[in-house]
Amino acid sequence: MNVSGWVVGFVLLVSWLWAPLLLADTAALYQQYCAECHHPDRLGAIGPALIPQNLHRLRKKQAIEVISHGRPATQMAPFADRLSPAQIAALADYIYTPLARMPVWGMKEMRANHRILHPPGSLPARPTFKADMDNLFVVVELGDHHFTLLDGDTFTPIGRFPTRFAVHGGPKWAEGGRFVYFLSRDGWVSKFDVWNLTWVAEIRAGINARNLAVSDDGRWVMVANYLPHDLVLLDARDLSPARIIDAKGEQGTSSRVSAVYAAPPRHSFIAALKDTPEVWEIRYADGHGRPLARDKMPLRRLRLKGVLDDFFLTQDYRTILGSTRGGGAQVIDLDSGRDIARLDLPGLPHLSSAITWARNGTRVLATPNIRKPEIAIIDTATWKVIKRIPTPGPGFFMRSHENTPYAWSDVFFGPHRDLMLVIDKQALKIVKTLRPAPGKTSAHVEFTRDGRYALVSIWDMDGALVVYDAKTLKEVKRIPMKKPSGKYNVHNKLTRSEGTSH
């Protein structure tokens, strides 16, 4: 070995010896400066969880920026005056390092993180304000972790309320519109009483959660978790934890749970596993609709050919469509558990945002695609793709309404993120392209109860909710909001309008 070889070898040896020391240093820094708000094991407390799964949407560069300069108007203080750039960079590396062990989050942890603010029955059982209670919207504002309750007749906010950090997975309306259940990325489930305009209960049901579903009888809430690997059943009345179902495949594989949905006509929850090719059906009532006890709910496994990334349940809840990794999608009959068709859908169809409508005596399904600039239209009688509509970029959300001739789709990815596409549902053609706020992402449409107005989000800190006349396609109102993401109309959600997701 020559001299430079020795030098390189020496440097490598020193850095190898130093690495654990540096890591230990960083862990100590974390405990000293961060643990009190973000939890000693990084699971989150006053501040959000700081683990790679939860930091999915935050780039490391942004994390360094946050640690250095803080987040204005929050408890996240700047650390640039106390820590060196190298220490801050090391902390950023540290929080993107996976946890060494699966975090424990059982009944004990849930009970310790459960708060009942207003016990069931303690608040008036009638609305405390005047509005068409059947045309309200919940609008999630991710920008500063709030939601706005919007009057869907007048498009005026009824109130604006703080939520947990990073609400996602779609809040769910329940019990005729009296309650809404929210879920946050970090696993917090919060129950809001719309009639009394107040939060009534909350619980932390997991560390990294995907979405939640509410049973049609209003008795149960089920949460799908990535961390830990489980489904959590909550008593809907006060969110007390009722049961934990470990997500273990038939072969014993521990798995994340991608999503859970309620299937009202079947009185069941349907959940897809992310790391093993299984879909589960968990019944909460028997064939006559009689409720089952929490520990008597049978779990049925459907074995699939591939893992489902994302799925769609048809309006009759007989069929499930799931996109599979590596492209394509399978159509599965829920009763027999059989694979009945394959969909020719390259890329990654975003099936959980697919919609259906009647056309030429059949029912068609339209899905955006996260990886491909096209909207595919499928005949649900034959499961054949009958049209591929090219778009200016991949999309994320598609929506329509029974009373409107158009389907709307965003262009969520790429340079044309500021466009909204309006598609004629019979001609299967883009008839208008809107640009509500040039340069800013426009996304996620939802209709008013009667389908006369379409509400679009300008997904920006300095954003807005833009209301369009769904017939003339003219703007009628613009309400400033902070990064509004999803919006949810009580009537369309509770009646399971086929123009929206559930």
91 binds ligand HEC per the rule CB under 6 A: yes
Cβ nearer to ligand HEC, comparing 50 with 271: 50
Site map (CB under 6 A) of ligand HEC, residues 194-223, x = contact: ------------------------------
360 lies in the site for ligand HEC, by CB under 6 A: no
Please report how close the Cβ of residue 200 comes to ligand HEC at its closest, in angstroms. 23
Residue 63 makes contact with ligand HEC by CB under 6 A: yes
Residue 84 engages ligand HEC in binding (rule: CB under 6 A): no
CA distance 354 to 310: 11
Distance of CA 114 to the CA centre of its chain: 22
Interface residue with ligand HEC, options 22, 23, 27, 58 (CB under 6 A): 58
Q: Which residues does 262 contact at the CB level (< 8 Å), separation at least 6?
A: 213, 214, 215, 216, 222, 268, 269, 270, 502
Q: Is 50 in the site for ligand HEC (CB under 6 A)?
A: yes
Give the residue, chosen from 46, 102, 431, 461, that forms a contact with ligand HEC under the rule CB under 6 A: 46
- DSSP 8-state assignment for residue 296: G
Return the C-alpha torsion angle 283, 285, 286, 288, nearest 10: -140
Query: Angle of helix 85-95 relative to helix 60-69, nearest 10 degrees?
Result: 130
The C-alpha atoms of residue 119 and residue 374 are separated, in whole angstroms, by 49
Spatial CB neighbours of 269, under 8 Å, sequence gap ≥ 6? 213, 215, 220, 222, 231, 260, 261, 262, 263, 281, 282, 284
Token pair belonging to 354: 């697919």
31 is written with which tokens?
């405990």
DSSP state of 99: P
Asked if residue 79 binds ligand HEC (CB under 6 A), the reply is yes
Q: Does 120 bind ligand HEC (CB under 6 A)?
A: no
CB of 172 to ligand HEC, least distance (A): 23
- Count of positions on this chain that bind ligand HEC (CB under 6 A): 23
Residues 451-470 binding ligand HEC (CB under 6 A) are none
Site for ligand HEC in 136-175 (CB under 6 A): 145, 165
| Cβ atoms within 10 Å, residue 19 | 10
Residue 332: exposure state from Cβ atoms within 10 A (0-12, 13-18, ≥19)? buried
Q: What's the min distance (Å) between Cβ of 76 and ligand HEC?
A: 3
- How far is 446 from 467, CA to CA, in rounded Å? 10
Is residue 48 involved in binding ligand HEC (CB under 6 A)?
Answer: yes
* Smallest gap from residue 59 Cβ to ligand HEC (A): 10
Q: Which range touches ligand HEC (CB under 6 A), out of 14-22, 59-67, 111-119, 195-203?
A: 59-67
The answer to whether 47 contacts ligand HEC (rule: CB under 6 A) is yes
Q: Strand locations in 228-361, DSSP E?
A: 230-235, 241-246, 257-263, 268-273, 278-283, 299-303, 308-313, 319-324, 329-333, 339-343, 355-359
36 contributes a contact to ligand HEC by CB under 6 A: yes
Residue 51 interacting with ligand HEC (CB under 6 A): no
Q: Which residues, 6+ apart, have CB-to-CB distance to 242 below 8 Å?
A: 220, 233, 234, 235, 294
Regarding 386 and contact with ligand HEC (CB under 6 A), the answer is: no
Look at residues 379, 389, 473, 470 and name the one whose alpha carbon lies nearest to residue 428: 389
Q: Which stretch binds ligand HEC (CB under 6 A): 43-51, 146-154, 198-206, 481-489?
A: 43-51
CB of 127 to ligand HEC, least distance (A): 31
Asked if 385 interacts with ligand HEC (CB under 6 A), we say no
- Which chain residues interact with ligand HEC by CB under 6 A? 33-34, 36-38, 46-48, 50, 55, 58, 63, 66-67, 71, 74-76, 79, 91, 95, 145, 165
